[in-house]
Amino acid sequence: MRILAIGDIVGEIGVKKVKDLLPYLKETEKIDFVIANGENSADGMGITSPIFKDLLNARR
């Protein structure tokens, strides 16, 4: 099993980078499971429901 652990996702730029790169990384590196720290994804102020949904959809 191949696991990808992503450190702190901070702000809109961090979320966009994860959304852009995660599908590629999962395919090329044959990642089975992803762990991501998204607690600062709303510009360092927690996480919002829309951002959470965006990050979940990035895994596909």
Whether 59 has a pLDDT exceeding 80, the answer reads no
d(CA 56, CA 54): 5
Write out pLDDT tens, residues 26-47. 999 999 999 999 999 999 899 9
**Residue-level pLDDT at 29:** 97
Q: Do residues 20 and 12 touch, judged by C-beta distance below 8 A?
A: no
Domain boundaries, the chain: 3-58
Element (H, E) at 34: strand 33-37
**Residue-level pLDDT at 60:** 72
Q: Indicate the pTM of the whole model.
A: 0.85
Write out pLDDT tens, residues 13-26. 999 999 999 999 99
